[in-house]
Structure 1
């Protein structure tokens, strides 16, 4: 009996696919690569950002600072300009001021661009009673921050205002207060709100005009500088306040009353330099000065 032939059919099976472990390994490897790449690029970007931030806070290079001051001093003999010694006195404080430095200037003058440049990467704000001059400055120098305010005082009212302020030392004209809400006749309270929160390091009073009895004078500017220095929160414990044309009656009398002779550290030509500490605890302080000013400047010298 013959048995039938048997055919054995051989065929290739489907190739075995990669195991789940292999796929998991590939996924983990991809995740690690992506994480490492993101980490290194983020750190590099953060380092560049930090370096840029540090550079933005850096002071003006000494060579540039000195050159600006030198060329400004060359024209210092012109009428209405600060002398070379006066410029150097203010500049020395700005140079020492840790960047960024907060500088507030009352008045627009020949030195406006100089102050803005010397306070490189700091905040410089100018205040003027002339809306026209502020507008022209913003038009020509849009990067400069300037505001116009209304001064309601007159040079001829000096002694009446001094007596008024003495009667309001515990009230509206106290040395520590938020000027934004002050009703003191000497307070500059119509600046943009955020400026009252700035811890000013340097305040320069070089305006408004005070050359005649009808001119607004610098009584309000000096009073406001004195209050800002004593009331500031944060920042350096002391504020440098400069008063230009310190030889005139208004400037000298108001400086004695609100900046105080005890805080006068130097005078250079027509510039008075005061260093005023903020009042950390003012519960026992009534006046601006430890010793009340006499205010005995003859009225015919104003």
Structure 2
């Protein structure tokens, strides 16, 4: 009976193949999981390599510039700054061929160099860095953006300006200004007290007192009919250059978007063709000389310029 009972209590244990398959499946999923993240890591590494290189270079350059104190920027630093600025993904950035002439003039500028820029752009921090030992001031039409940018970059001097012009009226405004050339719109004056429609007279007092060595007109933005365009900034740049009281008697004025209709006409009328030393489709480089306060003619061939513009 005991044998029968023992026999009846004997249990048969079978190992189902599923158990082995389940272990293999787990290893397979683990392999897939590791492969997926390895692939994702490689893709991310390849995609971000250029961005990381640019970021690291920018940080290294900024640290180098900050550590230079009052010494002149080395040529390698300047060239690196120009390279990475011209390679930006921003569609509105300047090309290397546009940046280089401005950089060359800033390098040759007597120290400290006074640099006035109309417009906050992709190159704002670049201009501040290139004029390492000098004074760099920016004029921006959007007061909210000016305040935001200055809060973001406290080392940048930004002032907002109110433009009372419309691009759709630029021909009428220029005609009116030329009629007032012996009064409110004369080429040599203190714009702080001017009532000329194209003169910016709401900037801080010291902006009018500085003898600017280099002026870049790269703002305001916009070429739609209601936009202020660059009439006032071009006119103001011309008056500031001619009205210098001291320092170097010459002022370099750069006009960006040189091929625009407003830029072409205002450049011809207020910066003058005889002062144009270099030009491309997008950048004009003028050199203006200080003028006598009794001068009432922007260009030597002002009469010819007026006749040709009116006939066109």
TM range (shorter): 0.7 to 0.9
* 1:69 corresponds to which of 82, 85, 94: 82
User: Is 2:85–2:93's contact at 8 Å kept on the other side of the alignment?
Assistant: no
Instruction: For residue 56 of structure 1, report the CA deviation from its aligned partner.
Output: 5.5
Measured in 1, the distance between the counterparts of 2:73 and 2:310 equals: 41
Partner of 2:206: 194
* 1:128 corresponds to which of 137, 140, 144: 140
1:178 correspondence with 2:190: yes
The CA RMSD over aligned residues, in Å, is 1.7
1:231 correspondence with 2:243: yes
Instruction: For residue 139 of structure 1, report the CA deviation from its aligned partner.
Output: 1.3
1:45-67 per-residue CA deviation (whole Å, 9 max, x = no partner) reads xxxxxxxxxx8654222221121
What TM-score results when the alignment is normalised by the length of structure 2? 0.74
Partner of 2:99: 87
User: Is 1:59–1:121's contact at 8 Å kept on the other side of the alignment?
Assistant: yes
User: Is 2:90–2:122's contact at 8 Å kept on the other side of the alignment?
Assistant: no
| Equivalence map 1:273-284=2 (5 Å) | 273-279=285-291, 281-283=292-294
| Worse overlay, 265-274 or 180-189 | 265-274
Partner of 1:286: 296
1:221-261 per-residue CA deviation (whole Å, 9 max, x = no partner) reads 00000000000111111000011101011011001010000
The structure whose residues are more often helix, as a share, is 2
The residue matched to 2:247 in structure 1 has which SS? Answer: coil
Measured in 1, the distance between the counterparts of 2:178 and 2:310 equals: 17
Say if 1:143 and 1:78 are closer, same or farther in 2 by CA, change over 3 A: closer
User: Is 2:86–2:93's contact at 8 Å kept on the other side of the alignment?
Assistant: no
Instruction: For residue 218 of structure 1, report the CA deviation from its aligned partner.
Output: 0.4
The residue matched to 1:296 in structure 2 has which SS? Answer: helix
User: Is 1:57–1:99's contact at 8 Å kept on the other side of the alignment?
Assistant: no
Measured in 2, the distance between the counterparts of 1:272 and 1:199 equals: 21
Unaligned segments of structure 1, at least 5 residues: 1-54
Measured in 2, the distance between the counterparts of 1:297 and 1:104 equals: 32
* 1:215 corresponds to which of 206, 220, 227: 227
1:78-107 per-residue CA deviation (whole Å, 9 max, x = no partner) reads 421111100111111111112211000000
What TM-score results when the alignment is normalised by the length of structure 1? 0.77
Unaligned segments of structure 2, at least 5 residues: 1-67
User: Is 1:178–1:231's contact at 8 Å kept on the other side of the alignment?
Assistant: yes
1:272 correspondence with 2:311: no
